[in-house]
Amino acid sequence: MESYTILLVDDDPEHLMILTGHLISHNPEYQLLIATNGRSGYEISVKKLPDLILMDWEMPQINGVEAIRMIKADEKARAIPIIMITGTEYDSAKLKDAMEAGAIDFIRKPYNPVELIARIMTQIRHLDINRKLLEQQEIVIRQEKELLSKEKAILEQEIENQKKQLAMNALNMIRQGELGQSVINGLKNVFPHTSPEGRSMLNALISQLNDKSNEHLQEEFEICFEKVHSDFYANLTRSIPDISIREKRLCAFLRMNMTTKEIAAITYQTPNAIDVAKFRLRKKTGTENDEGFMRFLMSI
């Protein structure tokens, strides 16, 4: 049998002796607490929180029903089951008062050992069921926490991997843009040394480079960026309803802390064109300078 703490509240030493004798004979593992009046019974209840209380009715200072009301008013002690101990003279109306106060059962004096143990064991069985339920709940809660912890760790690792991939995509775009710009500059340097037909061909190549050289990298960047900053574009559109696709992309680059020079290399625009685009975006958002605009981007 499991060990339970039972509080006996009675001002009669003889009744206490009989009660303790029956309980110890039934289960020596019971831990018994004794109170000789209703007030001390209440004080022990809220301090020690026993598993079960046997409460006598008539006692000095405050009676058993008043003590029960006080115990049930305490947040921590109110769940303790209480069996009221009554004399043979108590009628059903008085017993109804005890039940309404919070008693869940009653035992009449003089004690019938079989009835006494049977009523106590009924409450002990309820306590056993509650303990097992609580243990199962704790197991379930612990397993759920462990599962959530694992899922959180996996999600955090996934986000971290996506951030690394996003940074790598941004770096690749910058490198590709710089390389493309270097090639374009090299082609332009050839202009003075070629025929009009050759310059036309070079212009066609430069246009092709401007249009296509970084396209696949920008698409990869867009996909990865939306995974890491899933609500950025939606929040941006809500804040700037008339924003264009090109302006959205510029905002994403700025959100990644890219410089004007890096963005110009990626998009094959001049730094001045990027500054003009930023100025227009600042006007749309009502921000006075680049610092304020960056705070705006970081907040969405």
The token pair at 6 is 């039972």
Does any domain span residue 132?
Answer: no
Q: Which of 111, 126, 157 corresponds to the end of one domain?
A: 111
104 pLDDT tier (thresholds 50, 70, 90):
very high
Dmax over CA atoms of the chain, in Å, equals 126
pLDDT score recorded for residue 249 = 87
Report the b/e string of 248-280 with b at 16+ CB within 10 A. bbbbbbbbbebebebbbbbbbbeeeebeebbee
pLDDT greater at residue 203 or residue 1? 203
| Average pLDDT of the segment spanning 116-136 | 90
pLDDT score recorded for residue 216 = 64
pLDDT score recorded for residue 123 = 93
pLDDT score recorded for residue 245 = 87
Specify the pTM: 0.51
pLDDT score recorded for residue 82 = 97
Parallel, antiparallel, or unpaired: how do β-strands 31-35 and 52-56 relate? unpaired
Residues 55 and 164 in one domain: no
Domain interval for residue 205: 146-298
CATH code: domain of residue 103: 3.40.50.2300
Does any domain span residue 119?
Answer: no
The token pair at 168 is 């790598």
* Alpha-carbon span 90 to 84, nearest angstrom: 11
pLDDT, tens digit, for every residue of 255-272? 988 899 888 877 878 899
Angle subtended at Cα 11 by Cα 8 and Cα 13, rounded to the nearest 5 degrees: 85
pLDDT score recorded for residue 273 = 93
Name the domain count of the chain: 2
Return mean pLDDT, the chain.
86
If one counts every other C-beta atom within 10 angstroms of the C-beta of residue 282, the result is 16
Residues 150 and 34 in one domain: no
